[in-house]
Amino acid sequence: MTNPTVAKHGIVATTHPTAAQIGVEVLRAGGNAIDAAIATNAAMGLMEPASCGIGGDLFAIVWLEKKKKLFGLNASGRSPYAASIDLFQELGLDEIPTHGPLSWSVPGCVDGWDQLLTRFGTRSLAELLAPAIDYAIKGFEVPPHIASTWKSHEEQLRETMPASETYLIGGRAPEVGATFSNPRLAATYRLLAKKGRDVFYRGAIAKQIVEYSRSIGGLFSLRDFREHTSTWVDPVSTTYRGYEVWEIPPPGQGIAVLQMLNILEGFDLTSLGPDSADWWHLFIEAKKLAYADRAKFYADPQVTNTIKTGTQLVSGKLAASPFLSADGAAELTQQLISKRYAAKRRKLINPMRALDDVPPGDPKLARSDTIYLTVVDKDRNCVSLIQSIFDAFGSQHAAADLGFALQNRGSLFALDLNHLNRLAPHKRPFHTIIPAFVTRRGKPYFCFGVMGGDMQPQGQVQVLVNHIDFGMNIQQAGDQPRLQHLGSATPTGRKADGGGSVVAEPQVAQSILDALAKRGHRVMRGGKNGGGYQGIRIDRKTKTLQGATESRRDGRAAGY
């Protein structure tokens, strides 16, 4: 696949072809990009249940053409009020379990849908859930990548009755081409369609989740759901070779993209080319530097407060208190994504030798399951939306008989009292999922995202460099062979050994890997990279849209 989808009126791109088509039909019927995004997301929660669903969180960047403005939404949930570092110490745990009820945070997806629809939508939630409800009852065909992920977690899904009864057929995961239905999710969606957002956070759904939590040793209370809110935020940006690249600020990892781009902008990448060991070396080193900051400074600014503020740059290094106000967090973010700071960090790169004193991190971030979708409509409203339950099937617990898995995002808290991302009651954890957006001279240019935990900032940077520096179209930019660096320090506070490892897809030339090894990188071959990608470019010259989808997965960029 080398050419993008070209359409005049609208495009929807996501990782299941049927879900993309559902979004297109919403556009055809007169809905806008926001309406189509929610209908598509609801379908994806049914059709790719290992990766997303209403048991998880949502982030979005919206361009509203009428106002010529970008809006950011953080629809992520918080830890239970009963969660504390003391509690985990009493349980004899030095880290939060990756799966199970202690890894739960409140799901933010449904409130995110409500916020998006209330502010920008033109259709009712009931209308947008109708296609997903229909497919949940009659079934949908399972494509290869989704079937493979499902199969690989079959054993874990057998461990609890709700998960087994929801996701397995006779104790087995559905095979490629099998028709799968989820009547439990259909019933939950019907309840949402009839009663709206509050039934999830104040009504019957919240009560069922809390009852299930109490029955298996979880920490959820009705107060956790009742007091959940999403947050509208201003996206933050940097410029890269004349383009403005936008991300959601922390507790997500989006600004790592901006930090990496700022560092790389100081090098003539075009002259190096995409098949150059020099380019890949610079990319890996920029990633290490940005992720070192990510490990220490990316956290929920609404809770890391109350005691001290005042973070500053000292001789090119960041110094900060373990407590940070919202204003202090905003200031810190601006410092981290500044050109001045990037210039100082860039000096640490040795063009001929890999850094080996940047601590690597926690494999929790290397295996994340997420879906990304993007929509642009006929009026050129744009949505960049990412939605996830973190690991495959999240905590691997389905919520009672409600038909969806609960996320395990709470496992990304640190249990270190001196860490910005430390666990506290009613606090958002560090987040991996990051929607992205690119403008040019203040106008929307490229709406895109890359999935896959730790890979997300790396994948976004690779796509942008492939497109901007190496001149690839947006489909080629995603198809190009990838490298992934594993082993940076993480916001859980966990560390491993020095320089990390570089995993290359099979198509990367051996000569590149040999050259990287000579510079001190530990390199290895891997299979297909897991960083799924979707993108839509707004081509103002031809007045058309160009859509791209991840060739490594099951997706589609559908247009009309």
Reported as type and span, the H/E element at residue 244 is: strand 243-247
The answer to whether the CB of 7 falls within 8 A of the CB of 40 is no
Q: How confident is the model at residue 302 (pLDDT cuts 50, 70, 90)?
A: low
Residue 222 near residue 230, CB atoms below 8 Å: no
Do the domain assignments include residue 86? yes
Angstrom CA distances, 176 to 46, 325, 393, stand at: 16, 50, 18
Q: How many domains does the chain have?
A: 1
Can you name the residues that pair with 11 across neighbouring β-strands? 376, 559
Q: What is the pLDDT of residues 170-205, one digit of tens each?
A: 999 999 999 999 999 999 999 999 999 999 999 999
pLDDT at 358: 66
User: Which residue range forms the structural domain that includes residue 74?
Assistant: 5-232+366-412
Instruction: Reply yes or no on whether the pLDDT at 342 is more than 80.
Output: yes
Does residue 64 carry a pLDDT above 80? yes
Model pLDDT, residue 310: 37
Output the pLDDT for position 498.
Answer: 61
Quick check: 315 pLDDT over 50?
no
Q: What are phi and psi of 304, to 5 degrees?
A: -75, 70
Tens of pLDDT, residue by residue over 18-57, are 999 999 999 999 999 999 999 999 999 999 999 999 999 9
Domain contains 440: no
In a domain, 280, yes or no: no
Q: What are the tens digits of pLDDT across the range 236-279?
A: 999 999 999 999 999 999 999 999 999 999 999 999 999 999 99
Where residue 299 falls among pLDDT bands split at 50, 70, 90?
Answer: confident
* pLDDT at residue 306 in the model: 37
Question: How wide is the angle at C-alpha 141 spanned by C-alphas 139 and 142, nearest 5°?
Answer: 115
pLDDT in tens, 113-171: 999 999 999 999 999 999 999 999 999 999 999 999 999 999 999 999 999 999 999 99
Is the residue at 252 inside a domain?
no
Eight-class DSSP state of 126: H
The two beta strands, 501-504 and 522-525, are parallel
| 72/52 Cα distance (integer angstroms) | 20
What is the rounded CA–CA span in Å between residue 11 and residue 127?
A: 20
> Which region among 77-81, 164-168, 299-303 has the lowest average model confidence (pLDDT)?
299-303
Structure tokens at 203: 């009504």
> pLDDT tens-digit profile of 534-552?
999 999 999 999 999 999 9
Is 187 a member of any domain?
yes
Task: State residue 272's pLDDT score.
Answer: 98
Helix (H) or strand (E) holding 90: helix 85-90
Reported as a single tens digit per residue, the pLDDT across 363-407 is: 345 555 689 999 999 999 999 999 999 999 999 999 889 999 999
Q: 439-497 pLDDT, tens per residue? A: 999 999 999 999 988 999 999 999 999 999 999 999 999 999 999 999 877 777 666 45
Q: What is the DSSP string of 267-278?
A: S-HHHH-TT-HH
How many CB atoms within 10 Å of residue 332?
A: 27
pLDDT in tens, 328-338: 788 888 999 99
Q: Is the pLDDT of residue 362 over 50?
A: no
Q: What is the pLDDT of residue 495?
A: 60
- Residue 354 CA to residue 345 CA, distance in Å, equals 14
Q: According to the model, what pLDDT value does residue 85 have?
A: 96
**How does pLDDT run across 485-521, given as a tens digit for each residue?**
998 777 776 664 567 899 999 999 999 999 999 999 9
Name which of 102-111, 202-211, 298-307, 499-508 the model is least confident about: 298-307
Q: Flag whether 427 is in a domain.
A: no
Look at residue 134 and tell me if it is in a domain: yes
Confidence of residue 324 (pLDDT cuts 50, 70, 90): low
Q: Which two tokens stand for residue 196?
A: 């709206």
**Closest C-alpha to 73, from 412, 375, 387, 490:** 387
